[in-house]
Amino acid sequence: MKTANFSRRIAQLPRFVKQLTMLGVDVGMLLLGVYLAYVLRYGFLFLPNTKQILLMLAAPLVAVPVFIRYGLYRAVIRYLPEKAIWSIFQATAVASLLWVALVFLTEMTGGTGVPRSVPLIYWLVITILVSISRFGAKWILHESSTPVKREVALIIGTGEAAQQLAAALRVHRDTFVAGFIDRDPSLQGMDIAGTRVYAPTAITDLVDNYGVCQVVISDPSMSEDERKTYVSILGRLKIRTSILPPIADLSRGKYLVGALRKIEIDDLLGRSPVPPDEAMLQSMIEGRAIMVTGAGGSIGSELCRTIVNWKPRKLVLFEVSEFALYQQERKLKAASRCEIIPVLGSVTQQELVENVIASHGIDTIYHCAAYKHVPLVEANPLEGIRNNIMGTKAVADAALKTGVERFILISSDKAVRPTNVMGATKRWAEFVIRHYGDLAQQKGAAQSFSSVRFGNVLGSNGSVVPLFREQIAAGGPVTLTDEDMTRYFMSIREAAELIIQSGAVIKSGETALLEMGRPVKIRDLAENMILMAGLTVRDIKNPDGDIAIRVTGIREGEKLYEELFYDPDKAQRTRHPKILCAEKRGTKADEIPQRLPQMQRFLDSNDSAGARSLLFDYISQ
């Protein structure tokens, strides 16, 4: 206790006092070092003569300026890195050479000779003594700190980011880095910055032997195969897994240096998101009046959050749900300075939509409003048709009449060869937008009407990810419609950024396709989410597991495999690497003016069977 109090008092001394103390210690060490050099050379203790005393006194006079030049008094001893030994090594070598030069000069002027081995011994001794003084002081000052419970961590990766993270964790002392993990066999068994490199297969043993409670992934851009390897290992261990943000994000101030974020399910999907083209985003948003329909939904709300970051002149939130609109308005007003206008209403109210567009001078519309839950729309086809098709027609018609510069429809991969009402309504909506693009072109208006088609976004309302999370939290089982079912996935943030950028790369009447990577098996997604929760899958191989996966069978209208393209070979590249342009197929969009009144009659007469028949007959021809 007395030692700790003494150490704490030293740590609280003013900086210049500690520097003077260190300088005084160095002077004593240098005098002791030169005397010990003679003693080690002669093999016995002796009393130096006057000239030897003068040479010994000269040693600190020569060395201290060198130490100052090499920064030995600038370092904060408490945080002295191991590589500081190199600076000490250099400083003592130069100081020894200068002292040897002084000895040589004294011999030229008749001074007493110095044994040739004394300078070398002197250099070795003072290197040891000065190093002990520095790192001994570091240990004492560290002991004065409030003791903390240390966690044990592993770092996946051996790159620059991994090494910097390890160094930072050592300084903070609350985390002990047990090792690096790397798949490169040439690195396994080696030491990097004093820390051993292990193979991924050693993770389980390291957790058992060292009590590892945290694993940090230092490379957020690792390949899909690497992610699958690590999730299969880490998912079965009850330890925290975090991921280091990209160094570029740290340098732009997006994260605090210590802000390791928890690994999310989208980190395991095997997609490598392309950073957004900031100039493209800015050109689409800055200074513009923008309206988002369905602003309270998953895609709509993320679009709004992205839009307000790029300084729009005005953002109109058009939403049919009062509570969703209230929540979105409150959050956006707290996070942005642009003008936020909430409008409560349905997209089927064309007169309301026209009034809103005209009164606020809307430049761009992102039409997200739609019923998207496949089983619910299947059970309520008339409402799905009324909202998804007629609502799209109403907003597009209002946009054409009021001169809106750009209209972008949010479509779905379910619009490709649809087998359910939701997908069919989205295919109709694409035709509606192509038709209005043609009308704008015929009028010679500088207006653009286009669609953006993509797959599932993680965490969206009614999607499989929140359902799986809820089922896992309840103890299971996790319900799966089919073992072989696959879907395309992307993060909701990336989807919102790509939707905005698509407006800059496609022409009026075209459909943009967001590149979604490879489809993901829903079974794999379910297993990964169970493993990430620190639980195990209960199956035939592991009957004592925590969470079972139950296959319930495909629901009406569902497909095993979704598609993004009618003909992948004819999809055209754009100047954005993640945005493609679909080929225009046939002339079905030209029939929309005749088909829409037919569909409206079925809606007015509440004829579900007739509406469904027309819905699929039109797009299947």
CA 51, chain centre distance (Å): 68
- C-alpha distances (whole Å) from 192 to each of 166, 220, 307, 577 are 10, 20, 44, 37
Q: How confident is the model at residue 177 (pLDDT cuts 50, 70, 90)?
A: confident
- How far apart are the C-alpha atoms of 60 and 111, rounded to whole Å? 19
Write the pLDDT tens digit of every residue in 227-247.
Answer: 667 766 776 676 777 776 655
- How far apart are the C-alpha atoms of 571 and 296, rounded to whole Å? 32
Q: How confident is the model at residue 7 (pLDDT cuts 50, 70, 90)?
A: low
Q: Calculate ∠ Cα 600-606-609, nearest 5°.
A: 90
In this prediction, residue 254 carries a pLDDT of 40
- How far apart are the C-alpha atoms of 214 and 344, rounded to whole Å? 47
Residue 251 has pLDDT above 70, yes or no: no
Q: How confident is the model at residue 298 (pLDDT cuts 50, 70, 90)?
A: confident
In this prediction, residue 252 carries a pLDDT of 44
* Region of residue 353 (phi > 0: left; psi between -120 and 50: alpha; otherwise: beta): alpha
**What's the average model confidence in pLDDT over 354-362?**
95
In this prediction, residue 79 carries a pLDDT of 57
Max avg pLDDT among 197-201, 308-312, 316-320, 493-497: 316-320
Burial 24-46 (b: 16+ CB within 10 A, else e): ebbbebbbebbbbbbeeeeeeee
**What's the average model confidence in pLDDT over 355-378?**
93
Model pTM score: 0.63
In this prediction, residue 259 carries a pLDDT of 44
- How far apart are the C-alpha atoms of 403 and 417, rounded to whole Å? 33
**Cβ distance 87 to 70 under 8 Å?**
yes
**What's the average model confidence in pLDDT over 283-310?**
92
How many CA atoms are closer than 13 Å to the CA of 574, on its beta-carbon side?
21
In this prediction, residue 262 carries a pLDDT of 52
Question: Among 46-50, 53-57, 499-503, 587-591, whose mean pLDDT is lowest?
Answer: 587-591
Residue 81 has pLDDT above 70, yes or no: no
- How far apart are the C-alpha atoms of 157 and 440, rounded to whole Å? 54
Concatenated DSSP letters of 417-466: S--SHHHHHHHHHHHHHHHHHHHHHHHT-S-EEEEEE--EETT-TTSHHH
Q: Please give the structure tokens belonging to residue 232.
A: 């299969």
* Region of residue 603 (phi > 0: left; psi between -120 and 50: alpha; otherwise: beta): alpha
Residue 266 has pLDDT above 80, yes or no: no
**What's the average model confidence in pLDDT over 395-419?**
92
Main-chain phi, psi angles of 145, to 5 degrees: -70, 160
In this prediction, residue 250 carries a pLDDT of 46
In this prediction, residue 360 carries a pLDDT of 94
**Cβ distance 218 to 165 under 8 Å?**
yes
**What's the average model confidence in pLDDT over 327-353?**
91
* Region of residue 559 (phi > 0: left; psi between -120 and 50: alpha; otherwise: beta): beta
Spatial strand order in the sheet of 547-551: 478-480, 547-551, 537-538
Provide the mean pLDDT of the chain. 81
Residue 501 has pLDDT above 60, yes or no: yes
Q: Please give the structure tokens belonging to residue 590.
A: 């030209």
CATH code of the domain made up of 282-457+489-516+562-620:
3.40.50.720
Q: How confident is the model at residue 577 (pLDDT cuts 50, 70, 90)?
A: confident
Residue 363 has pLDDT above 70, yes or no: yes
Domain edges within the chain: 2-144, 151-263, 282-457+489-516+562-620
Q: Which residues on adjacent β-strands are paired with residue 180? A: 155, 197
Residue among 437, 435, 438, 356 at smallest CA distance from 398: 356
151-263 and 282-457+489-516+562-620, same CATH topology? yes
- How far apart are the C-alpha atoms of 209 and 517, rounded to whole Å? 39
**What's the average model confidence in pLDDT over 9-38?**
78
- How far apart are the C-alpha atoms of 202 and 180, rounded to whole Å? 11
In this prediction, residue 350 carries a pLDDT of 94
Per CATH, the architecture of 151-263 is what? 3-Layer(aba) Sandwich (3.40)
In this prediction, residue 436 carries a pLDDT of 92
Q: How confident is the model at residue 513 (pLDDT cuts 50, 70, 90)?
A: confident
- How far apart are the C-alpha atoms of 460 and 463, rounded to whole Å? 5
Question: Among 133-137, 383-387, 411-415, whose mean pLDDT is lowest?
Answer: 133-137
DSSP-derived secondary structure letter, 337: -
- Which residues, including other chains, have CB under 8 Å from residue 205's CB and lie 6 or more apart? none
Q: Please give the structure tokens belonging to residue 271.
A: 């997609």
Residue 138 has pLDDT above 80, yes or no: no
With helix as H, strand as E and coil as C, how does 218-268 read? CCCCCCHHHHHHHHHHHCCCCCEEEECCCHHHHHCCCCCCCCCEECCHHHH
Q: How confident is the model at residue 382 (pLDDT cuts 50, 70, 90)?
A: very high
Neighbours of 164 (CB within 10 A): 16
3-state secondary structure of 490: strand
Kind and range of the H or E run holding 339: strand 339-344
Write the pLDDT tens digit of every residue in 53-77.
Answer: 888 888 888 888 888 888 777 665 6
**Cβ distance 534 to 547 under 8 Å?**
no
